[in-house]
Structure 1
Amino acid sequence: MLLGAWVVVVTALVLIVPGALVGRRMMLPWPVALAAGPPITFGLVSILTVLYSAVGFQWNAISALVGLVLAMFAAWAYAALLRTRWGRRVAPAPEGPGSDETGSDDPPAGITAMLRVAAGVAVGGAIIAITCIRPIATTAFAGLNNVSQVWDSLWHASSLRWIHETGIGSGLRMGELMNYDTHGFNYYPNTWHALGALLFPITGANPVELYNTYSPAVLAITVPLGVASMSYWFARHRFDVNSSATIAAAGAAISALFPSLPYVEVELTSVPNAVGVSLAPVAAILTMGVIRDRRRVGPAALAVTGVTATHPSGLIVVGVIVALWWLCEALWHPVSTRLRDLLTLVSTGALTLILVAPVIYGTLKVSDTNELPFFDFRVETVGVAQGLSQAAFNGTVPLADYYPLWGLIAFTALGLIVLAWMRCWAGLLAWLAFVLVTANAVVELSVLSYPLGSIGGYFYNSPHRLTFVVALLSASAAGLAVGSAAVWLSRWVSGKLAARSSESDAPRRFSPAVVATAALALLLVLIAGAGVVKYPQHAQLASKERGGKYIGPDDLDAYHWLADRPDAWNSVILNNLDQGTGWIYPVTGLTPLFPFYRANDFSQRQRDLYWGVSTIGADPKIDQIVRDMRVHYVIDSPPSYWPFQNGAPGPGHQGDPFLALRRNGAPGLTEVFRQGNVTIFRVNDSVLAPPP
């Protein structure tokens, strides 16, 4: 647990501080810069890793620090340009009581507001981190070295190690990891992994330990921060800054009670998607601010870039929120003129498109293998009404056993009522829009199916990924409900105390600020208590896929045994990618032929060797491939991940290419290790020796 706590602290600093410093240098006030710190940090990582890869620089802690210095110079130049006569004409400082601090006509957020929000984020983050890390450290096999059984976890852990070892952090070069032989092109939004790779020398964690702690550590920051930002924006429609900060703190803390937010995503290992989406409200609200202060175009574009480069699904959330805000609010209450406000937003979007050009290029190039609108996870037994109910109140898979969560439903419903009272129609419509998109991923919604499916396609039309978006908005609404109650209660108590003081002519002992702080403290204590009560359920959910179904203790022992063989380090291990034995790379650093459960652009010799493993020593063609690829060991660890990959090959059934090896052996292989279902074979010297 000490390692987990250390990773959480380091992650918070590395994630927030660089972006906050650059944002502040780009003329954002400190409260805004700190909130925008994480998406701006990811934006910097996205730009720097692509540039470094293009010029041949390695991505590591030193080069990242150099990149931060360069970013600070660029931010200084940006601010200097805006202070010129031309800059003041294009992007003048807004007039108003808060123009020097906030860049708008709102009063500035002071230290009181910042501390309230920080307290809420800290409570929510602590609940999330403890609930996700503690059960792995204390109950899972191998502790923090435990291997998740979910498909994507292998990719994430391998990426962390690969970036650390090679210094290649560009998302445009991930094909070099995915396919050892061909290095065929593959794009993957890689900023989350690239930032995490910087933590190796600081934390001393190995790749599996870092993956198991860094994943929840980032969500422990981004989920409360994203909900706090959205709750604050909701509250500012009617409340003052300090009251809005109280509501934001309530939203940040209560986010840890929504199982759809951190715990399902940690269980199913879709963390980059969750990080990008959870930061989308921060980037969206910063983008809304550009029409009041055009100096924010630069940092807003950088924040949206960070969200997009972490996962493109985040850009969809930003786009929906900003578009609904424009249609419902900004269009009817322009700051300057409608055309000028629109052009300011368009300029922000144009700058964002330039900064995310690598993401666009990579996504388009792999689009043939990622036909997003056509993923289908629908269940035929679910009707439209049930699908809408599950989508609205977090009842989709894998939460069906926990549904309905009446307490969260009640707070969400109250928050939606408060939103309607405040006439925050954009917030209500955003919630409704993603409820419909999520419901369409559960059950077909007639003529709306294709347009909703096109939006949902960026989330693979996966109900749990889309439920995450709905839960993000629901938690913000719930925070609005309980935070508003705390604000109104503190005002009522303050009024009673003031009346009693005036009647007795006694000096006033408690100011309204003290009463409000006490009310927030009590609320946070209650939420923390709820986190303790829900800990067993949420901890079980977060650590659910940790039992060793595919990769268990026997596999780890086999990997470490193989790592002790000197000739394994200068060779390649032939493995069955369907079995997930690519875990040998993040666990030990050895090189498997197939690092992941799938690969792009298989070479012919990869196919021949994969399907001809049982003929090693009997087929000269296969033996030559073994020598050419320097294969010294073969590892077999059934079962395979998907049912169609097990058993004998047949019509419409892929089958297991290692089945014949398992049953009959191979003339050119000698069994050297067996434990449980795991078997390791060594290639005979007669095969490795070149033919006379």
Structure 2
Amino acid sequence: MTTAAAAWFAVVFFTLPGFAVSWVSGLKAPAAALTALPVTFGIIGVGAWFWGLTSAPFNLWTFGISVAVALLAAAAWRYAFARKARRGGAVPWRRALFPGDVRSRSIADPYWVLPALGVGAGAYVAASDRLRWLVHLPNGVSNIVQGWDVQWHANAVRFIMDTGVASATRMGELQNVETHAKLLYPSAYHAGIALFGEAAGLEPIPALNIAESVLPALAFPASLACLVFAFMRSTGVTAQIAAALAAVCAYAAPQLLWVPDYVGMWPYLFAIGLTGVVIWQFLLVPGRRAGALPAAAGFVGLLSVHPSAVTVVVLAVALSWLTSTLVRPERSRLSDTLWLAAPALAGTVAFLPQVLAGSAQAGEVASWQPEEELGAGGAWGAALRMDTRHVAQFFPDFDPTVALWLAGAGALVLVVWRGQVWPALFYAASLAVTANALSPFDNVWGDILGTVGNLHYSTGHRLIMPVVMSVIAAAAVAVAAGVRLLCLAPVAQRYGKGVAVSTVASLVAGAALGAAAIPQVRAHAEEGAQAAFSSARTPDRMVSADDLAAYDWLATQPAAWEGLTMGDPADGYSWIYAYNGVPTVARHYLWPTGGRGSANDTLYWHADFIGEGHNAPVEQAIKDLDVRFFILSPGSFWAYQNPQYEMLRAFWASKGVTPVYRKGSTAIFAVNSAFTKAELEQMRDDAKAHGSDTLFGLAEPVDTQ
């Protein structure tokens, strides 16, 4: 399958299940399509957790069963509404299943056309550029990102594809090979990509790279369009124009698609990219109560991808309820409130372990300090200018002045014309949380804002994302309102003449403006976007061509598959697990859980005693872990991490390990106790035949058997 074909397949794979479930449950086709992504990941998240309780693997077959169950639940949900409508038999089944104006908000209602064009164009430009850059990077779609968390993401995808274990509650089996200590880690992002890789016939790293190029590119344009609909509490002509423009402008925001990708916070990036969609899902419910089921599924999807993002949805929905729903309810204040709360309650109950994982993360990261350098205006100035980490590095000409003025005008439109105060409050609250993370306030407000910020690692480059989304949505509203004014919409509506002409003129003008904006947005941001996208994927910081050659050779050795390979987690050696599937002791730059005295700890700190005959714990650790090989590739990820000299120096003179492969600074050592002298010599000959550097001046390997 070509890269382009795989990307288009990813679009269908990640949207079709969610669309089908949403449509069957009662949403009309345009809304079901726009909100499909979080619903799909809700099915994946719950399915991964449920099948993790059984001995069955989570794969395409069990995922298919999960989708079928979700469709049955959606059908039963819709039947319940239809049955209620038919009480007394006065309403026919067709009318009960399709209540209200059948044409309104359906595919026959053209309200969706312009937003769909904007979302489609925004997604296509972002995804196509990311994929184009990807295939021209070293190793193409198999490129190894040299960042921190991406190793874990890639290894998680490999683990799920190989074992079928995808539950968030069982990620300890991946991270903690020795102890299997429990680890709660949101896994829907990884499980979805593993399923995609299986369906597309891709290895884990290509599946991850292609999906990461496509998923955020789909999510942010859709989310910004939905956020406009939510801000305006309308899908009228002005909202349609604004939704299309906002979707197109997602590409231009460094803080959305580009900086988060560069730092490797991929599940978080995708989760924030879904927040606007899920907010709109909730706000649809009072007017279309059948939408409560897909809203609950979307909420679960958000929890399953990254629980932190839920705070964005909760804040937006709570403010909307307080200042909009209670002021102008769809049916009644009480019923609207209950129906707004129901999806959140159902979603939380359905995936409570994910929520607990998010709470645990908050405690772990509360002590993190932001790395942003604050210039003029301090924390508030940096937050207002959206000038957080890495923006100036890749986008030195980024100037939000025009966008901020337009957003201010859009806020006036929302408050004065639409009576929607909550978007401004949402922006202000998000801005305050960001400023507090950059420089904590020394008062009770700092404590309150810090509680939210802690869930987002208390870092400005994460917390700024809802701020940026609000600015883009509000600015698009201002431009759309300007288009409507120029097309004399207020005059036509006041006098009841020329409304159709004004509407058509507005839509044509909006479409022309969007079409003109696409190349401008791209030209303005492409250089910085490509630099941010490529920077972590280009240098050989952790994994070089020599490393990949060593990985490929070790993968040809049967013993590597029978036991485990070890090294220094800080040098990134466990990329071999994602790249070739060779089982390793570590699966992340972070250490596995075990503590002092564990076999992993003993071998790491006392590897120079292997084979010396007077350190029983070391010999026992080798047996307990069944380590067959060590692979070393200095240096360490962080500058403060010292080289592991017990391996780097002692191994070359050790009686317990024998160097069998060397390429540049990368070396592989076999554990003597696991092999005969003849086997060790054969490995060295085979390695030399496969490009290993000559191992000069080495003593003969010890015959251990």
Confirm or deny a common fold (TM above 0.5).
yes
Aligned equivalent of 2:316: 321
For 2:232 and 2:668, the matched residues in 1 are separated by: 61
Contact 1:60 1:198 in 2 (8 A): yes
Matches within 5 A, 1:16-95: 16-85=15-84
Q: Which 10-residue stretch deviates more, 533-542 or 571-580?
A: 533-542
* One of 339, 342, 367 as aligned partner of 1:374: 367
CA displacement at 1:23 relative to structure 2: 0.8
2:296 is aligned with 1:301: yes
1:562-585 Cα shifts (integer Å, max 9, x gaps): 112222121210121111111010
Q: Which 10-residue stretch deviates more, 517-526 or 278-287?
A: 517-526
Contact 1:459 1:465 in 2 (8 A): yes
Aligned equivalent of 1:652: none
Aligned equivalent of 1:158: 155
Contact 2:564 2:626 in 1 (8 A): yes
Aligned equivalent of 2:100: 100
Contact 1:581 1:637 in 2 (8 A): yes
2:664 is aligned with 1:669: no
Matches within 5 A, 1:232-251: 232-236=229-233, 241-251=236-246
Aligned equivalent of 2:328: 333
* One of 443, 456, 461 as aligned partner of 2:458: 461
2:670 is aligned with 1:682: yes
CA displacement at 1:592 relative to structure 2: 0.9
Matches within 5 A, 1:275-286: 275-286=270-281
Contact 1:186 1:600 in 2 (8 A): no
Contact 2:248 2:517 in 1 (8 A): no
Q: Which 10-residue stretch deviates more, 560-569 or 529-538?
A: 529-538
CA displacement at 1:201 relative to structure 2: 3.3
CA displacement at 1:142 relative to structure 2: 2.2
1:201-220 Cα shifts (integer Å, max 9, x gaps): 33333222222221121001
Q: Which amino acid aligns with 1:661?
A: A
The verdict on how the C-alpha distance between 1:210 and 1:486 changes in structure 2, with shifts beyond 3 A counting, is farther
1:540-575 Cα shifts (integer Å, max 9, x gaps): 111211211111211111111111222212121012
2:247 is aligned with 1:256: no
For 1:405 and 1:126, the matched residues in 2 are separated by: 25
For 1:362 and 1:389, the matched residues in 2 are separated by: 33
For 1:111 and 1:337, the matched residues in 2 are separated by: 27
The verdict on how the C-alpha distance between 1:510 and 1:641 changes in structure 2, with shifts beyond 3 A counting, is same
2:110 is aligned with 1:117: no
For 2:434 and 2:594, the matched residues in 1 are separated by: 35
The verdict on how the C-alpha distance between 1:32 and 1:672 changes in structure 2, with shifts beyond 3 A counting, is same
The verdict on how the C-alpha distance between 1:534 and 1:348 changes in structure 2, with shifts beyond 3 A counting, is closer
2:428 is aligned with 1:432: yes
CA RMSD of the aligned region, Å? 3.2
For 2:143 and 2:250, the matched residues in 1 are separated by: 27
Aligned equivalent of 2:680: none
For 1:280 and 1:483, the matched residues in 2 are separated by: 23
Contact 1:572 1:632 in 2 (8 A): yes
The verdict on how the C-alpha distance between 1:494 and 1:579 changes in structure 2, with shifts beyond 3 A counting, is farther
For 2:603 and 2:518, the matched residues in 1 are separated by: 57
The SS at the match of 1:550 is: coil
For 1:361 and 1:437, the matched residues in 2 are separated by: 22
Structure 2: give runs of 5+ residues left out of the alignment: 493-497, 678-702
Matches within 5 A, 1:566-577: 566-577=558-569
The SS at the match of 1:633 is: strand
For 2:86 and 2:657, the matched residues in 1 are separated by: 72
* One of 647, 653, 657 as aligned partner of 1:658: 647
CA displacement at 1:302 relative to structure 2: 1.6
Aligned equivalent of 2:606: 612
For 1:336 and 1:118, the matched residues in 2 are separated by: 29
1:155-185 Cα shifts (integer Å, max 9, x gaps): 1111111111111111111111111111111
For 1:88 and 1:433, the matched residues in 2 are separated by: 46
Aligned equivalent of 2:411: 419
Q: TM-score, normalised by structure 2?
A: 0.87
1:140-161 Cα shifts (integer Å, max 9, x gaps): 3222222111110001111111
Q: Which amino acid aligns with 2:114?
A: R
The verdict on how the C-alpha distance between 1:574 and 1:548 changes in structure 2, with shifts beyond 3 A counting, is same
Matches within 5 A, 1:423-502: 423=415, 424-447=420-443, 448-490=445-487
Contact 1:623 1:687 in 2 (8 A): no
Structure 1: give runs of 5+ residues left out of the alignment: 496-501, 503-508, 648-654
- The percent of aligned pairs where both chains have the same amino acid is 25
CA displacement at 1:370 relative to structure 2: 4.5
Q: Which amino acid aligns with 1:84?
A: R
For 1:451 and 1:657, the matched residues in 2 are separated by: 47
The SS at the match of 1:673 is: strand
Aligned equivalent of 2:305: 310
Aligned equivalent of 2:134: 136
2:586 is aligned with 1:594: yes
Q: TM-score, normalised by structure 1?
A: 0.88
Q: Which amino acid aligns with 1:432?
A: A
Q: Which amino acid aligns with 2:608?
A: S
The SS at the match of 2:26 is: coil
Q: Which amino acid aligns with 2:64?
A: L
Q: Which amino acid aligns with 1:397?
A: R
For 1:144 and 1:531, the matched residues in 2 are separated by: 23
Contact 1:252 1:479 in 2 (8 A): no
CA displacement at 1:33 relative to structure 2: 1.1
CA displacement at 1:88 relative to structure 2: 7.5
Q: Which amino acid aligns with 1:588?
A: N
For 2:536 and 2:226, the matched residues in 1 are separated by: 31
**Number of matched pairs:** 660
Aligned equivalent of 1:528: 519
Aligned equivalent of 1:539: 530
Q: Which 10-residue stretch deviates more, 558-567 or 152-161?
A: 558-567
Aligned equivalent of 2:339: 344
Q: Which amino acid aligns with 1:14?
A: F
The verdict on how the C-alpha distance between 1:519 and 1:327 changes in structure 2, with shifts beyond 3 A counting, is closer
CA displacement at 1:271 relative to structure 2: 1.5
For 1:76 and 1:686, the matched residues in 2 are separated by: 58
CA displacement at 1:681 relative to structure 2: 0.8
1:410-439 Cα shifts (integer Å, max 9, x gaps): 124312322223213211111111111111
The verdict on how the C-alpha distance between 1:87 and 1:675 changes in structure 2, with shifts beyond 3 A counting, is farther
CA displacement at 1:376 relative to structure 2: 1.5
CA displacement at 1:84 relative to structure 2: 2.8
The verdict on how the C-alpha distance between 1:50 and 1:373 changes in structure 2, with shifts beyond 3 A counting, is same
